[in-house]
Chain A
Amino acid sequence: MIRKLLVMVCCSSLLFACSTGGASAPAVSNASSALPAMPDRTANNATLAGIDTTGSGVRDDVHRYIFLTYTSTPKRNAMMQAAKAYRNIYLNPPQTQVAALALAKETDRASDCLFSYAETGHYSMMEAYLMARKIEAMHADTKARMTLYDSYNQFLDGTGAPLGPTAGSCDAGGGL
Chain B
Amino acid sequence: MKKHVAIAITLVFASGIFQKASSTCGVDRAMIHINGIQTSRSDARDNMRALSSGYGPTYAGQTITYDYAYNNSNGSLWSSLAGVYFQKDVEADPDLAAAVAYGILTGDTSKITISSLQASLKSAYQNLMALNSTALAVATKTQTIAAKVNSYLNAGTDVVLVPHSQGCLYANSVFATIYSGIAGGNTRNGSVASSSRLKIVAVGDPASGVAGDPSNTSYVTAAEDGIINALRVQSFFNSWTLLPSNVKALSLGQDPVDGTGHSFIQTYINPSYSTWPKIKQAIDSAMAGLQPVGKALVSGIWDPQATGVEFHMLVNGLDISSNFGADPNLSQGAGWANYCMPLSPTTATTYAPVVYNRGSVAQAVTVAGPLGVQNTTVSAQSGIFPGMFFGAVMLVQNGTVSPYI
- A71 close to chain B: CB less than 8 A: no
B111 touches which of A5, A147, A151, A160 (Cβ 8 Å): A5
Q: Is the CB of A150 within 8 A of B82?
A: yes
Q: Is the CB of B113 within 8 A of A132?
A: no
Given contacts A132-B46, A163-B67, contact A147 B78 (CB under 8 A): yes
Bound-state CA distance A134–B103 (Å) is 11
Bound-state CA distance A166–B91 (Å) is 35
Task: Give the residues in chain A near B148, CB-CB below 8 Å.
Answer: 160
* Contact string against A for B residues 141-180, beta-carbon threshold 8 Å, 1 for contact and 0 otherwise: 1001100100000000000000000000000000000000
- B241 close to chain A: CB less than 8 A: no
- A77 close to chain B: CB less than 8 A: no
Q: Is the CB of A9 within 8 A of B111?
A: yes
* B: interface residue count bin: 35 or more
Bound-state CA distance A2–B42 (Å) is 26
Which partner residue on chain B sits nearest A61 by CB separation?
Answer: B94
Bound-state CA distance A1–B112 (Å) is 9
Which partner residue on chain B sits nearest A6 by CB separation?
Answer: B95
Which partner residue on chain B sits nearest A110 by CB separation?
Answer: B42
Which partner residue on chain A sits nearest B33 by CB separation?
Answer: A160
Q: Is the CB of A147 within 8 A of B94?
A: no
- B66 close to chain A: CB less than 8 A: yes
Bound-state CA distance A20–B49 (Å) is 22
A111 touches which of B45, B69, B77, B265 (Cβ 8 Å): B45
Which of A1, A5, A6, A146 neighbours the largest number of chain B CB atoms within 10 Å of its CB? A146
Task: Give the residues in chain A near B94, CB-CB below 8 Å.
Answer: 41, 61, 141
Which of B41, B67, B77, B83 neighbours the largest number of chain A CB atoms within 10 Å of its CB? B41
Chain A nearest CB from B328 CB (Å) reads 42
Task: Give the residues in chain A near B102, CB-CB below 8 Å.
Answer: 133-134, 137
A64-104 contacts to B (CB < 8 Å): 104
Chain B nearest CB from A65 CB (Å) reads 8
Q: Is the CB of A126 within 8 A of B111?
A: no
Which partner residue on chain B sits nearest A130 by CB separation?
Answer: B266
- B348 close to chain A: CB less than 8 A: no
Q: Is the CB of A133 within 8 A of B106?
A: yes
- A31 close to chain B: CB less than 8 A: no
Q: Is the CB of B53 within 8 A of A2?
A: no
- A54 close to chain B: CB less than 8 A: no
Q: Is the CB of B98 within 8 A of A132?
A: no
Task: Give the residues in chain A near B360, CB-CB below 8 Å.
Answer: none
Which partner residue on chain A sits nearest B102 by CB separation?
Answer: A137
Given contacts A136-B43, A137-B105, contact A156 B98 (CB under 8 A): no
Q: Is the CB of B78 within 8 A of A149?
A: yes
- B24 close to chain A: CB less than 8 A: no
B40 touches which of A129, A147, A149, A166 (Cβ 8 Å): A149
Which partner residue on chain B sits nearest A156 by CB separation?
Answer: B41
Task: Give the residues in chain B near A14, CB-CB below 8 Å.
Answer: none
* Contact string against A for B residues 57-74, beta-carbon threshold 8 Å, 1 for contact and 0 otherwise: 000000001111111101
B41 touches which of A41, A137, A141, A153 (Cβ 8 Å): A153
Q: Is the CB of A126 within 8 A of B41?
A: no
- A167 close to chain B: CB less than 8 A: no
Task: Give the residues in chain B near A1, CB-CB below 8 Å.
Answer: 113
Q: Is the CB of B67 within 8 A of A150?
A: no
- A17 close to chain B: CB less than 8 A: no
- B9 close to chain A: CB less than 8 A: no
Bound-state CA distance A5–B111 (Å) is 7
Chain A nearest CB from B158 CB (Å) reads 15
Chain A nearest CB from B32 CB (Å) reads 8
Q: Is the CB of A143 within 8 A of B43?
A: no
Task: Give the residues in chain A near B140, CB-CB below 8 Å.
Answer: 158
Q: Is the CB of B104 within 8 A of A146?
A: yes
Q: Is the CB of A158 within 8 A of B70?
A: yes
Bound-state CA distance A12–B224 (Å) is 24
- A32 close to chain B: CB less than 8 A: no
Q: Is the CB of A158 within 8 A of B112?
A: no
Which partner residue on chain A sits nearest B103 by CB separation?
Answer: A137
Bound-state CA distance A160–B82 (Å) is 26
> 12 A–B contact pairs at CB < 8 A?
A2-B95, A2-B112, A126-B266, A128-B50, A136-B105, A140-B104, A142-B97, A143-B91, A147-B82, A154-B74, A159-B41, A161-B67
Given A158-B69, A158-B140, 5 other A-B residues pairs in contact with their CB atoms under 8 A: A2-B113, A6-B98, A115-B53, A150-B77, A157-B141
Q: Which 7 A-B pairs have the closest CB atoms?
A: A146-B82, A143-B86, A157-B72, A150-B78, A137-B102, A141-B97, A137-B101
A interface residue numbers (CB < 8 A to B): 1-3, 5-6, 9, 41-42, 45, 61, 104, 107-108, 111-112, 115, 118-119, 125-126, 128-129, 132-134, 136-138, 140-143, 146-147, 149-151, 153-154, 156-163, 166
B interface residue numbers (CB < 8 A to A): 30, 32, 40-46, 48-50, 52-54, 65-72, 74, 76-79, 81-83, 86, 91-92, 94-102, 104-106, 111-113, 140-141, 144-145, 148, 257, 265-266, 270
